[in-house]
Copies of this chain bind each other. A is one copy, B any other.
Amino acid sequence: MQSLDFRPFRARHWRQLFTDVSHWEPNVTAVAAHPVSSSPPAGTGLLPSGEPWQLIDPAGQPVTEAGPLPPDPTLTELYRRMVIGRRFDAQATALTKQGRLAVYPSSHGQDACQVGGVLALREQDWLFPTYRDSVAIVTRGVDPVEVLSLLRGEWHCGYDPHQHRVAPQCTPLATNTLHAVGLAHAARLKDEDTVALVLLGDGATSEGDTHEALNFAAVWKAPVVFLLQNNGYAISVPLAKQTAAPSLAHKGIGYGIPGELIDGNDAAAVYTTVQAAVERAAGGQGPTLIEALTYRIEAHTNADDATRYRNSDEVAAWLARDPLTRLEAYLRSAGQLDDDGAGRLRAEAEQFAAVLRERMNADVPADPAELFAHVYAEPTAPLREQRDSLLAELRDAGEQR
């Protein structure tokens, strides 16, 4: 296993956490094409800091020079939600093994982003998650059984997006970034104080839609926050094959959007950065692009075999940077958590998982007629015809039995 040098956390070190660094050649030096004029580049204030920003280091120590920590109750709540989220995630993975879920993309390792991003939102804000962000949605308050109905194969989205202001989990990569921008811009047009937080992965940044969303957001000064969970992989493809940029947060300046590079395993840093970006957005100052450096501990989904493209040393190195351990260490050293408290939290999480497990064991009856019910506001004449023919077919089959 690689030895880790925890503080200060340098991008260089972050890269060392990856085994496959051979391709990793971000282009950070200009090769001057000609003797450029001495005039300094504009807008450098939009660039991210060179090293990922951190408030609590992996050993649980506050990085005091980086700024103030969120208040203790917030930190405690971040920890509590991460414990529950982690347990939910493990339970979901277990359900795939029991055949109760068709597939599950785990966010183990990205817990600080899942929880920190969502807790920074206000009641009236919207969340635009992807398939990997079930923990974020659960943290937002959506019924976990409803969250899992997609992955259970029951229906494409099991919850009402308007209830908790959570868009359906988005599978086509990067497409949700545009939805978030549109929703946020509509809020501005309607004079509503709503911010949209959209989650996307490192791979999704390569899609054209991400580019268009960043650009529309910037031109419209839309109240939207892009939280990019850079977990190092798009399925099997490492970041080095995805980009040659110094960091993904460096994309911001090309749109006139400030880019922030943060330690995505530091829940305090994620929470603080997203909260500040939400405030900026709500204050009419436009979008922010936040790149949170983190790691996907599990395979892409339970169906994936990660040993084909990365080695266990790499995973072990990142396990040592666990976001829960880090915050727990801080809370304990700050006297905010003791064994009793930790035990109560564990019990709460177990209870959460037990209820989920039980509810997921119940079979959900599927109604074939519903296939035709929601395609249009009212089923069209051809769809009514098709529904009737399916129902007749089922009746006949029933009669035959």
**A residues in contact (CB < 8 Å) with B:** 8, 11, 26-51, 53-54, 65-67, 206-212, 215, 218-219, 221, 241-248, 250-258, 260, 272-273, 276-277, 280, 285-286, 288, 290
Contacts and interface: CB of A to CB of B under 8 A. Distances in A.
Nearest to A34: B276
A contact face: mostly helix, strand, loop, or mixed:
loop
19 contacts: A27-B257, A28-B256, A30-B45, A31-B280, A37-B49, A40-B50, A41-B44, A41-B48, A41-B49, A42-B47, A206-B215, A208-B211, A211-B212, A219-B243, A221-B244, A244-B255, A246-B253, A251-B255, A252-B254
Contacts of A272: 34
Q: Which 6 A-B pairs have the closest CB atoms?
A: A208-B208, A30-B45, A27-B256, A211-B211, A43-B246, A251-B254
A33 B280 contact: yes
A320 B65 CA distance: 54
Contacts of A242: 219
Nearest to A225: B33
Contacts of A32: 45, 258
Contact of A208 (B38, B54, B207, B250): B207
Number of this chain's copies in the complex:
2
Given A27-B258, A28-B256, A43-B245, 17 more contacts: A27-B43, A27-B257, A29-B45, A31-B258, A32-B258, A33-B258, A33-B280, A35-B66, A35-B67, A39-B51, A43-B246, A44-B44, A215-B243, A218-B243, A219-B242, A246-B256, A253-B254
Nearest to A211: B211
A260 to B, nearest CB: 6
Given A67-B35, A219-B242, A247 B208 contact: no
B53 A36 contact: yes
Contacts of A65: 37-38
B258 A254 contact: no
A393 to B, nearest CB: 36
Nearest to A208: B208
